[in-house]
Structure 1
Amino acid sequence: MSLERVVFVHGSGRFGAAAWPKQHGLSLDFDCLYLRRHGFDAEAEPLATDHDRDQEIVAEALGAGGHVVAHAEGAVPAMLLAVERPDLVGSLTLIEPACLSLTAGLPATKAHIDLMAPLVAERHAMSDGDFLREFLRRGSIAEEAEEPVGGVGRNAARLRLQSPPWEAPLSIVPGVPTLVLTGGWEPLYEEVAQYLAGTGAIHRVVPGGHRPHDTPEGAALIRAFLRSTGEQAAA
């Protein structure tokens, strides 16, 4: 009997298997693939965001179908694919999802966009280092605090090229079982999670900052959700 496929989609910091240190053990029970989104490479030059290519990468990894686990900005192509190809996506696990276009009119998201949009508008006229410093000075909740793959300079260059998540053409995902996991530390992510819970998603809060999936409780919730949705599909 073949194992169910689980595809992991990273955010803006670590990528590949390095982004999911506490999920490697799932490979005992599932066929796990840890992806690299478009433009994320330890040696090649960073590239600008391409949501279409990211969706293709996820779809190719899913093959005949499976589960998708996505973190932060990785939740954007995961949701886009689930809307376009619900036949491929058996379940969605969204961790601190940066699906800001869904909540652009709500208070925490609007405050974040108002703060960051002027900087994003000027990013192509700035150096990578200047952009990163200003990004962090404005209190960004992105993943730059993580240890970067490929060096700080490459991480800064990649960050400057990323399109703002509030511009992604997202809509809700009808009929796909969805777990949203947040760390309970940042109102922006809680706002997105509550919005998704209002559309039928399960929302769980696990103290753990921006990486609640690195905690024992968070990892256990992900495992249990994957197992339960797989059993439901089999039944």
Structure 2
Amino acid sequence: MERAPDLHRLYVHGSGRRGADAWPHVRDSAARFFAFSPDTTIDDQVAALLDDIGGRRSLVFAHSIGAVPAVLAAQHVDLAGLVLIEPALYDIARGDAAIERHIAIVTEARALASSGDLRGFWAILRPLMFGGPFDSARWREESPLAERWATINLPWGHGVRERMLDGTPSLVVTGGWNDEYEAIAQVLADRGATHLVLPGHEHRPHDSGGFVHVVDDFVAALAS
């Protein structure tokens, strides 16, 4: 993916891979790849984005929960555009059945973790986030992952509202595999965002070979 010379491109990862590792198909030595540590707050992430953007004309790419600080930052600067990949903007789709189910399950699991029952937390969260039931034989191997997921930022409760993208050219890309992300994308599309589905890679549709062309078309439209 080549960089248009007049755009400062920033890439904000989700809850998994960080930095450039989260964007293996991007070939842009001038891009800014964020690598937030797990204990970084959403507010800290917003501040880091704003500091990096400065007064530059910027195009921000954000995956999953990375969309939360990206959208919040967009309230303070005039972005050239936003590319949101499976954005975990749960607050804008409250009331949707899939969204409410997800929040309820995670809330129950986190309550167990807060009470000291990490195994109970993982027994609930693992099937939701990774598929497959809790396996006690793998607990020693998976307990560090459970500890991380018990304390990472949740993608709701940060005051994100759908109106926050009004006036910012936005492309939303989903994988067509999860009702939660499709519900969020529909809300954004109803507010004027362009929504495209790239199937075959589930939560990482930006790994699709078609993603580069989708972004190129979006950037071309920004310049027109």
TM-score category by the smaller chain? 0.7 to 0.9
Measure, in 2, the Cα distance between the counterparts of 1:129 and 1:63.
44
CA contact (8 A) 2:112 2:118 kept: no
Question: Shift of residue 3 of structure 1?
Answer: 4.4
Runs of at least 5 residues in structure 1 that lack an aligned partner in the other structure? 41-45, 143-150
Q: Is contact 1:206–1:217 with CA below 8 Å preserved after alignment?
A: yes
2:16 equivalent in structure 1: 13
Of 183, 187, 208, 1:215 maps to: 208
| 2:158 maps to 1:165 | no
Q: Does residue 1:73 correspond to 2:65, yes or no? A: yes
Amino acid at match of 2:33: Y
Superposition CA RMSD, Å: 2.4
Structure ID, larger Rg? 2
How many residues matched?
208
Greater relative contact order (Cα < 8 A, sep 6+): 1
Deviates more, 1:120-129 or 1:9-18: 120-129
With the length of structure 2 as denominator, give the TM-score of the two structures.
0.83
Offset of residue 161 of structure 1: 1.3
Name the structure 2 match of 1:124: 114
- C-alpha separation between the residues in 2 aligned to 1:90 and 1:128? 43
Paired residue for 2:137?
Answer: none
| Equivalent residue number for residue 138 of structure 2 | none
Distance in 1 of aligned mates of 2:6 and 2:213:
19
Q: Residue 140 of structure 1 is aligned with which of 129, 136, 160?
A: 129
The answer (yes or no) to whether the contact 1:13–1:155 under 8 Å persists in 2 is: no
CA deviations 1:34-54 (Å, max 9, x no partner) are 1012xx2xxxxx42x511100
Structure 1 residues 147-226: aligned runs within 5 Å = 155-171=145-161, 172=163, 173-207=165-199, 208-226=201-219
- Residue pair 2:174, 2:203 contacting (<8 A) in 1 also: yes
Q: Calculate percent identity across the aligned residue pairs.
A: 32
Q: Which runs of 5+ in 2 are unaligned?
A: 132-140
Encode CA deviations 1:128-180: one digit per residue, 9 max, x unaligned. 6664453112x2279xxxxxxxx966554332212321222101222000000
